[in-house]
Amino acid sequence: MQNNDFVRRFQSPGGDRIISRVMHIDLILFVLLLILCVFGLVVIYSAGGQDLFYVKRQFVFMIAGFILMLLVAQFPARSWERWAFVFYGFGLVLLAAVLIFGVGAKGAQRWLDIGVTRLQPAEFMKVCVPLMISAYLGKRFVPPVAKHVFWSVFMVILPTLLIVRQPDLGTGILVFVSGFLVLFLAGLKKRYLIGSALLALAAVPMMWIFVLRDYQKQRVLTLLSPEDDKLGAGWNIVQSKTAIGSGGVSGKGWTEGTQSQLNFLPESHTDFIIAVLAEEFGLIGVLTLFTLYLLVIVRCILIAINAQSQFGRLLAGSFGLVFFFYIFVNMGMVSGILPVVGAPLPMISYGGTAILTLFIGFGMLMAISTEPKRIRTQL
């Protein structure tokens, strides 16, 4: 069939090689992630005030991430499918624990202190939720019937609410979207899509009144007119736009960005790191990073299309799409077209849990991509 030939041509060239078979490594993905990590370290060095402190910590997390990814990849995709509910359940327990025992920063309780380091369980839910939903729907009818839709939605909403309660609106939205994308890829019928769109619309005022905290509302209002409050809530957006804009096409040069080096830019090594990159490497830097990201996403989608099971398809597809969504939300908020919510730039922003989570996700993708082919008699 025409369609299959098209797909086959884009299959991994290394798919049949020994190394990827035995080691369960997707070489293209591996190389892309390596490049992204190096890129991230370079920007973090500059954003962290040209101090190796953050670079060292991030480097350790990245090494741990790669090891974890390869470890995860060694388990067959089926086992992840089977054990999905355990991870999901564990994640929920952690989330509940955060609300009870969590340590806070800046008015929110997001971390769980486990002695060695601090964890952000909400970050883990970014991978646990799509894993759970993919596992749940992978074994069921396509497209999902009402009952399955209901349980899926329930399993998405529950952690989302726990996360928004912390409060961490950004991660909440990302987790919700990651779960919803699985449903969408599983063929969620149009009537559900329209229905959920309407529901979302209705939810906006409800969220405004009951869920959002004052500072979160302020961020939304600030988005609408950041100039109103230049020294207050609008400061972040004004400064990050200035950083991006003043970078121009070619940038001010590495570690030469005045906005970030002189601390005008808030959160420059975490959520706002793209502004540092844009200021110092210009539009060229932004396009380079964006191209790397798109290559990762394309690779994820190809892995999804070539996956041997519905579970693999759903997980890899939703992961690729939600990876893009992270980028969209982060780059959108930093450039002032989306409200400021706590959303790191994947692979680049400083943050241990986020990096580990992403690597776990990519590990699962590698497990999916290197799954032995089933004989497809029907083709």
Which residues make up the interface to another protein (CB under 8 A)? 3, 7, 140-143, 145, 181, 184-187, 231, 238-239, 241-249, 258-259, 262-264, 278, 282-283, 286-287, 290, 294, 297, 301, 304-305, 310, 313-314, 317, 321, 324, 327-328, 331-332, 335, 337, 376, 378
What token pair was written down for 339? 């409200």
CB-wise, 60 or 287, nearer to another protein?
287
CB-wise, 23 or 305, nearer to another protein?
305
CB-wise, 16 or 256, nearer to another protein?
256
Q: Smallest distance from the beta carbon of 152 to another protein, in angstroms?
A: 15
Spatial separation of the C-alpha atoms in residues 221 and 217, rounded to whole Å:
6
Q: Smallest distance from the beta carbon of 25 to another protein, in angstroms?
A: 24
Q: Smallest distance from the beta carbon of 258 to another protein, in angstroms?
A: 5
Instruction: Name the 3-class secondary structure at 335.
Output: coil
CB-wise, 5 or 18, nearer to another protein?
5
Q: Smallest distance from the beta carbon of 117 to another protein, in angstroms?
A: 29
Tell me how far the alpha carbon of residue 277 is from its chain's centroid. Answer: 19
CB-wise, 195 or 245, nearer to another protein?
245
Q: Is 62 exposed, middle or buried (0-12, 13-18, 19+ CB in 10 A)?
A: buried
Spatial separation of the C-alpha atoms in residues 173 and 58, rounded to whole Å:
25
Residue pointed to by tokens 């970014």: 126
CB-wise, 169 or 186, nearer to another protein?
186
For 23-89, the DSSP string reads: H---HHHHHHHHHHHHHHHHHHHHHTTS-HHHHHHHHHHHHHHHHHHHHHHHS-HHHHHHHHHHHHH
By residue count, the chain amounts to: 379
Q: Smallest distance from the beta carbon of 352 to another protein, in angstroms?
A: 26
Report which of 63, 64, 61, 69 is spatially closest to residue 24, judged by C-alpha positions. 69
Q: Smallest distance from the beta carbon of 363 to another protein, in angstroms?
A: 22
CB-wise, 32 or 68, nearer to another protein?
32
Q: Smallest distance from the beta carbon of 202 to another protein, in angstroms?
A: 22
Start-to-end CA span in the chain (Å): 8
Degrees to nearest 5, angle at CA 185 with 311 and 197: 140
